[in-house]
């Protein structure tokens, strides 16, 4: 038997590595205990919610498993989450429930998990580029946080702020992803590979004739003509923006393989053709314009013969009735008279004009608060008919909700990375040029769409920008 008198001396002379292991086990025990308490607390709530949303029955255990993976292996969890997030958007939409004034679901909890993963990445990897990311996003996030205290819809404002914080976090994760994949090329290949399943699902839905209008009736909403395809996303615009982004990334892979084997050069070209065809089926004109910018820049600066393909593609696309009708729609309904139906662009212009005219001078500096535009649109929009509308213009909406200071800080989110990557682009850095073109295209779609609320697109967009930003030789040398 061991003498009781010797036990204290054994404990007091325990080696430092043993002490650390005991402390680590204590931390893990506390975390698991809190997690178990949380599961017990929310199980009662889930029982009620599952009656309304059966998909939560699948989502809740999956979410619990994700949190266990967070404790066990964060890098693999991060890669798995990034690879599959674009394929499960529609499934996540079905898990949304109303919790007071906030509508959220498993997707919202995944956003919180992404934020936690980003914090973990920043703490474990002391990359100086993280500070630059904070410099770009910090002022905008600060004004967004302050505007929550000024909004009439606090629940919706908090939800939007978490989304904005998520975009900043995935930008930081993109910087980490470039290092994790041993270079930006490996990270871009990973991002393009994550788009294969959503594109395949979209092809199947197109073959089956599963249009967006076939799921949701939108006859009374301007600009929502039928025959649009959304694929595995909640809206055709999200699919369009997602395709636009991956067209640019795939063209980059084609560029670095131009001197390689025939297959390495041809599969990106074929994949781009497929995605452009699907992009036309979304009938999202802003995404068409933004994608044209990407294709034109590629043709002018990378492959001049691509100009011929671009011209031929434009001619063929105008032969499609869906494309021709969407473009012709802009020539009609440009004047608002009684009982006349405005086209979608004229409708947007009237909405912007009514919103900006409603603003009081005292609100010019800080605005009315996050998510307040759609709240007040019932009051100021002459065509509201009792419905709420978002601004369909990020710049107008930010000005209305966050004032001039908020708008300037949002401009800095776009201009800051452009200035940094532009310096690298001037030194003939291909990734720098891609990053600049991406942000220019992003700014273009911000002009006519509610981009900030397209969460899954923003996740992959800012993830891509983070990857490209981390690859700049001009930045790495500083």
The pLDDT tens digits for 251-263 are 999 888 776 677 7
Q: What is the pLDDT of residue 476?
A: 42
Residue 103 DSSP class: E
Report the candidate in 104, 239, 188 with the shortest Cα–Cα distance to residue 466.
Answer: 188
Q: What is the pLDDT of residue 58?
A: 53
Task: Let me know: does 367 contact 395? Beta carbons within 8 Å.
Answer: no
Neighbours of 270 (CB within 10 A): 10
Q: What is the pLDDT of residue 383?
A: 86
Q: What is the pLDDT of residue 224?
A: 42
Query: With 50 as the cut, is the pLDDT of residue 64 above it?
Result: yes
Task: Let me know: does 457 contact 451? Beta carbons within 8 Å.
Answer: yes
Span 276-319, pLDDT tens digits: 999 999 989 999 999 999 999 998 888 888 888 888 888 888 88
Residue 104's φ and ψ, nearest 5 degrees, are: -145, 175
Q: What is the pLDDT of residue 137?
A: 96
Query: With 60 as the cut, is the pLDDT of residue 4 above it?
Result: no
Span 116-146, pLDDT tens digits: 888 888 888 778 889 999 999 999 999 999 9
Least confidently predicted of 159-163, 236-240, 428-432: 428-432
User: Cα angle at 205 between 203 and 206, to 5 degrees?
Assistant: 65
Task: Let me know: does 310 contact 267? Beta carbons within 8 Å.
Answer: no
Query: With 50 as the cut, is the pLDDT of residue 222 above it?
Result: no
pLDDT mean over 76-94: 78
Span 36-52, pLDDT tens digits: 655 554 554 455 455 55
pLDDT band at 15 (very low <50, low <70, confident <90, very high): low
- Spatial neighbors of 12 by CB under 8 A, at least 6 apart, are none
Query: With 90 as the cut, is the pLDDT of residue 464 above it?
Result: yes
Q: What is the pLDDT of residue 62?
A: 62
pLDDT mean over 168-194: 91
Least confidently predicted of 71-85, 203-217, 359-373: 203-217
Query: With 80 as the cut, is the pLDDT of residue 72 above it?
Result: no
| SS3 (DSSP) at 104 | strand
Query: In Å, how far are 57, 61, 93, 96, 301 from 50, measured between CA atoms?
Result: 6, 12, 14, 11, 54
**The residue count for the chain:** 478
Query: With 70 as the cut, is the pLDDT of residue 21 above it?
Result: no
Task: Let me know: does 390 contact 450? Beta carbons within 8 Å.
Answer: yes
Report the candidate in 329, 333, 358 with the shortest Cα–Cα distance to residue 347.
Answer: 333
Q: Which of 239-248, 343-352, 431-440 has the highest mean pLDDT?
A: 239-248
CA dist 172 and 129 (Å) reads: 8
CA dist 331 and 349 (Å) reads: 14
Largest Cα span, the chain = 98
Report the candidate in 94, 113, 86 with the shortest Cα–Cα distance to residue 198.
Answer: 86
CA dist 377 and 424 (Å) reads: 43
């Amino acid at each position: 038997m061991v003498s009781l008198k010797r036990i204290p001396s054994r404990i007091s002379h325990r080696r430092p590595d043993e002490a650390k292991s005991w402390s680590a086990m204590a931390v893990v025990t506390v975390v698991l205990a809190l997690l178990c308490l949380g599961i017990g607390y929310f199980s009662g709530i889930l029982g009620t919610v599952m009656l309304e949303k059966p998909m939560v029955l699948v989502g809740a255990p999956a979410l619990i498993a994700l949190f266990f993976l967070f404790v066990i292996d964060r890098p693999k969890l991060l890669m798995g989450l990034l690879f599959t997030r674009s394929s499960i958007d529609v499934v996540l939409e079905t898990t949304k429930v109303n919790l007071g004034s906030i509508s959220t679901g498993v997707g919202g909890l995944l956003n919180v998990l992404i934020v936690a993963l980003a914090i973990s990445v920043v703490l474990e990897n002391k990359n100086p580029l993280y500070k630059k990311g904070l410099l770009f996003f910090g002022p905008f996030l600060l004004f967004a946080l302050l505007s929550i205290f000024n909004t009439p819809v606090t629940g919706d404002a908090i939800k939007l702020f978490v989304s904005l914080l998520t975009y900043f976090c995935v930008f930081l994760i993109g910087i980490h992803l470039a290092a994790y994949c041993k270079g930006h090329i490996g990270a871009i290949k990973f991002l393009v590979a994550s788009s294969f399943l959503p594109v395949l699902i979209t092809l199947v839905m197109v073959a089956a004739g599963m249009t967006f209008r076939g799921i949701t009736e939108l006859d009374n909403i301007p600009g929502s003509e039928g025959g649009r395809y959304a694929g595995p996303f909640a809206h055709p615009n999200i699919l369009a923006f997602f395709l636009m982004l991956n067209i640019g990334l795939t063209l980059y892979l084609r560029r670095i393989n131009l001197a390689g084997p025939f297959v390495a050069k041809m599969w990106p070209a074929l994949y781009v053709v497929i995605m452009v065809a699907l992009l036309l089926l979304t009938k999202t004109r802003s995404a068409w314009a933004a994608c044209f910018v990407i294709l034109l820049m590629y043709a002018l600066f990378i492959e001049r013969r691509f100009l011929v393909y671009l011209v031929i593609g434009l001619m063929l696309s105008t032969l499609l009735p869906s494309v021709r009708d969407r473009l012709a729609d802009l020539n009609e309904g440009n004047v608002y008279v009684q009982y006349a139906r405005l086209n979608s662009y004229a409708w947007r212009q009237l909405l912007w004009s009514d919103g900006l005219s409603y603003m009081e001078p005292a609100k010019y500096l800080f605005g009315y608060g996050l998510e307040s535009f759609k709240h007040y649109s019932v009051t100021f929009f002459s065509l509201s008919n009792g419905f709420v509308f978002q601004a369909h213009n990020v710049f107008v909406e930010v000005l209305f909700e966050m004032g001039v200071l908020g708008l300037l800080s949002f401009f800095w989110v776009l201009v800051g990375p452009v200035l940094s990557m532009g310096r690298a682009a001037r030194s003939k850095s291909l990734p720098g040029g891609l990053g600049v073109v991406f942000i220019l295209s992003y700014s273009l779609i911000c002009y006519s769409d509610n981009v900030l609320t397209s969460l899954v697109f923003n996740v992959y967009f800012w993830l891509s920008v983070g990857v490209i930003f981390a690859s700049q030789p001009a930045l790495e040398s500083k």
